Every structure is written in C-alpha cells, then in structure tokens.
Amino acid sequence: MTDWTRIVECVPNFSEGRRPEVVARLVAEIESVAGAVVLDTHSDADHNRSVITFVAEPEAAVAAAVRVAALACELIDLREHAGAHPRVGALDVLPFVPVRGVNLADCVQFAHEAGKRIARELDVPVYFYEAAALRPDRVNLEDVRRKGFEQLRAEIGVNPERAPDVGTARVHESAGACIVGARPFLIAYNVNLNTQDVSIARRIARVVRGRDGGLRYLKALGFALPERGLTQVSMNLVRFEQTALHHAFEAVRREAARWGVNVIGSEIVGLIPQAALDRSAEYFLQLENFTPELVLENRIAEAVSRRRKAESSRQKAEGGRQLRTDERPSATISNQSLMINEQAPTTIQPSLDSTDLPTAFSGGGAAAAQAGVLAAALGEMVARLLARKSSGAETAQEAGETLQTLASLREQLAEAVDEDAAAFARVLDARRLPRARDDERRARAHAIEEALKGAAIVPLEVASLAVQACELLETLAELGDAAWLSDAATGAQLALAAVTAARYNVLVNTAEIEDEEFTAEHRARADDLRERAREIATRVEEMLLDSIR
C-alpha cells in the first residue's frame, strides 16, 4: 500500500484541448498506475492544450508519466494540430516537482529516468530543461521550444544545436518531441482582456515579464482567444513567494488601462498552494474559476483520503484489516514542504569590487545606477554572512544563490554607469548636428529622437535591475538574523532611490520624444517599477522596525 511519505507532483502538458474523450483517456491511463492520483485537469480549446496534475510516489510517478506519454503518441497527431500555444510534442512538457520527502535533486533523477525511457521505448526525442537541463542554453523552456514543432522537424537532424539530449535526432512522425524537466512549484495564471487585438496582449506580456525588464520570476506570452472574442496574457510565476499573484495581476491591469483595455477576469491553470492565496485576496484577483478545490493542499488531502478508502475497502474485501482513522498519515502539506531541500554551496565566490563614488557623474542616470550598485553590494555582504553562518542547509543554499545573482546585478549596474554617460553623449552629439537646410533639420530631428530613446532605455534598465536587487534584499531580510536587517533595509532604500532617480531620467528623456507609444510605454513601465520598489522597501523597513520595538 502507498504510504505517501514521499510525494512528487507531475504536470504533463498535452497538445490536445478540444477532444474531451481523449483527455479522459489520458487521465484514466495515469490513474491505472497504482499510487498515482490525478488532482486536476485543465483544458483550453483556443490553446488546444490540456494540463493534467497528478501526484504519486517517485516510482509510480515515473511509471505513470511514461505510460501516458505512450498513449499520447497514439492519440495525438501534431501534423493535424492547430492552437495558440507553442508546442513541439504530443506530450509537450513533463515537469517533476518536489512536494514531500523529496528535493529538487531527486526530481532531476526522476526526470532523467522518465526521459530516457520515453526516448528508448517510444522513439520520441527528449530535451531536458530547468534543473534537469544538461546544457545551459536549455534551462529555459521557451529556449527549447522556440519556433515550434514544424521548425524542430526541419532542423533536428541537420543543426547540432537542435539535437536532442537523449534519443534519435529526428522527431516522432506524429508525436514530435518531449521536453522533460524538474522544477520548483510554479503557478500558471492567465489574465483575460476585453480586446480582440492580440498585439496589445503581446505588448503587455513583453512589458510585465522579467526577461524584458518587468516583474522578476514572471514569464508571460500574449494569445488570442477567438472562441471567446478575447485576448489573454498567459503567465507563469516561477517563484510566487517573490512575485505574487496580485503583483502580476496589477502589472497587467495597469498596462492594459494604458491601452484603453479592461481586465475582465483571470484564471488559475492547475493547482495553487495555500501560501500563494495567503498573499492575494480572492476578490482582488477577480478569479473566474476559484473554488477551495483549486488549492493544492486541499486537493491532495481529498485525493489521498479517497485513494486510502478505496485501498482499505479492497484490503477488507480480500480479508485484510480495515485501517483505523488514526493510522492514516496526514495529507496536510506545510508551506515548508514545497521548499527545495538541497545542500548549500561549499564556497562563496565573488568578492566585492570597490563601490567608491566617482568624482563626477554624467548626470542623474549614472547616479541612479551607482545607487543600485551600492544596494546590490550591501545585499552581497548580507548574503555572504548568511551563507557562511547559517546552521540550516536550505537557508545557506538560498543565500548562496542570492549572492551570485546580486553579484551579476551589481556588475550590470556598474556597466550602466558608463552606458548612461555614453547615451547622454549621443544626445549632445545629435543636438550639435547642422540644421541650416531642411534635410539637415530632418536628419538632426531624427538623430535627436533616436538618441533620446536610447537615453530613456538605459535608466529604465537600471530601474529594472534595481528592483531585482530590492527583491533579493527582501529575501535576505526574511532569511537573516535581526542584526543584519538594518543592512538589508538600507540596501532596499538605496534600490528605491535608484529606481526613483532612474524614473526621473525616463520622464525627462521622453518629454521631447514624438513617438507617443514609446513614451507612454516607457513611462508606464517606470511607474510600475517605482511602485514595486516602494512596496518592497516599505516591507523591509517594517521588518526592521518590528525587530527593534
């Protein structure tokens, strides 16, 4: 009998969302494996995609994943598939997520085992992503899946960069390829907009996602929903503790309002931890599909109870003894059970470069970047102390990871000091261009416009980097000893100052730009970043004040 002391969550994504009978067969196939329990199924006809969430002990999780992959190969033909969501396979993505009694390193092993079996037994090429990635350029799912099935089919056998991690360098004729990974828990969250203009949704996605200067730990794409006459910003929150649901919702809402578009609702895809809901009020999110059954812990408790009753009934029928209620292990999962449990790094590498202020600045943009450098440097100091002196492996590991990220941010901010000076010099050079003739005046006006855009982009990047540093300082404040809270709070205030000063430069440099769309977008992003930094700095300050009252 399954004892549920070690639980893995598996979230296979299938390229099928329009045939409920096929999805039902996939669900049944998963639950045909003893100990595998399906918690949730979410299908979307516009995306033509279904996400099935199930839990099991590790061996059962791998077995169920391989079995359902085989059935997907039989039932789903990518040559006939059409939908808004990018995909390369019938079973497109297969992540393993630690829940209880296992850590991320364990899930990497499960992912590799499942991937090798899928490649060997089904002749489907497999790519590994996130923590299971074998190559640094395949950590991000979007980098592996870029350009979709059709492009992969054309390139897999001729381009070494597209060769699979395991399996033959050719796609399965109908089932394509499969991307298998291991990752912490993430939240898939969509916000729906009352416009049919998909370009607006894509612009909003670009503004809010982390890789383009938006919210850290947020991935986003824009899609059309033709069956509903709407568009959607589809998001993944990869660290909901740092970038919460309401942060994502508010960022989309504010940007949509700039385009004259309203948010008409949002939805959760799959399940959500209770801790995520604790950070965001239900009414604030305008969830269309919220019920208590969407909470991960509630669904696991219900599913485990249901499966235990069935197993107990079967044992009783076979002459076994009935389990007493007090013998059943609790299915309640604490917030800590979703944390990654790995060893801390044995060495902490980067040493701080000098952060002495230069004798002269080219302007406020360079000063903003230097304030960000100081904020990141303070964070590095706190992270190094935590990594060395913490008695807990999880705290030491997170501090070590934070240290490395802050070092990278500090280097980028230091480079931005010179980049801002260069951008300012380009504006001056453009203003010195001749303007005696009409063609010279036109050329000069164009040069000034382009130079001013560059001068606005640099401080906006500074603001984004400073917000990321501020978020990490909050993480350190939550991890650290009260003795270091003043350093974290000081760093957060410096980061806020960097964002505020950078925003001033965005406003000034966009004041003369004639491209109204560029101006509105960059000013809105600067406003969002300042508000985010202010919220974080306030929370860190409250932690400090609470510790000394």
SS3 content of the chain, % helix, strand, coil (to 5): 55, 15, 30
Which tokens go with 395? 């705290």
Instruction: Count Cβ atoms below 10 Å from residue 159 Cβ, excluding itself.
Output: 12
Q: Which of 46, 92, 420, 487 is catalytic?
A: 420
Burial of 244 (C-beta count, 10 Å sphere; 0-12/13-18/19+)? buried
Q: Decide if 180 contacts 116 (C-beta within 8 A).
A: no
The answer to whether residue 172 is catalytic is: no
> Among 501, 495, 478, 505, which Cα is nearest to 534's?
495
* Residue 310: closest CA among 35, 55, 26: 35
Give yes or no: 85 in active site: yes
Residue 314 is which amino acid?
Answer: R
Task: Sort strands 178-182 and 91-100 into parallel, antiparallel or unpaired.
Answer: parallel
CB distance 104 to 184 below 8 Å: yes
Adjacent-strand bridge partners of 232: 192, 223
- Quick count: other Cβ atoms within 10 Å of Cβ 147? 12
Rounded distance between C-alpha atoms, residue 214 and residue 468, angstroms: 9
**Strand positions, DSSP E, 20-90:** 37-44, 49-56
Alpha-carbon distances of 380 from 37, 313, 351, 431, rounded to whole Å: 43, 57, 9, 41
* C-alpha neighbours within 13 Å on the C-beta side of residue 348: 25
Distance CA 246, CA 535 (A): 13
Contact 55, 8 (CB under 8 A): yes
Q: What residue has token string 């302007």?
A: 363
CA 340/CA 523 separation, integer angstroms? 37
| CB half-sphere exposure, 529, CA atoms < 13 A | 37
- On whether the CB atoms of residues 201 and 157 are closer than 8 A, the answer is no
For residue 181, what is the DSSP state?
Answer: E
Q: Find the catalytic residue in 42, 47, 85, 112.
A: 85
* Token couple for 311: 């197993």
Partners of residue 141 on adjacent β-strands:
none
Distances (CA, A) of 305 to 38, 328, 334, 538: 13, 9, 17, 43
Amino acid at 528: D
Is residue 233 classed as helix, strand or coil in its secondary structure? Answer: strand
Largest CA distance in the chain: 102
Query: Which residues are known to be catalytic?
Result: 85, 420
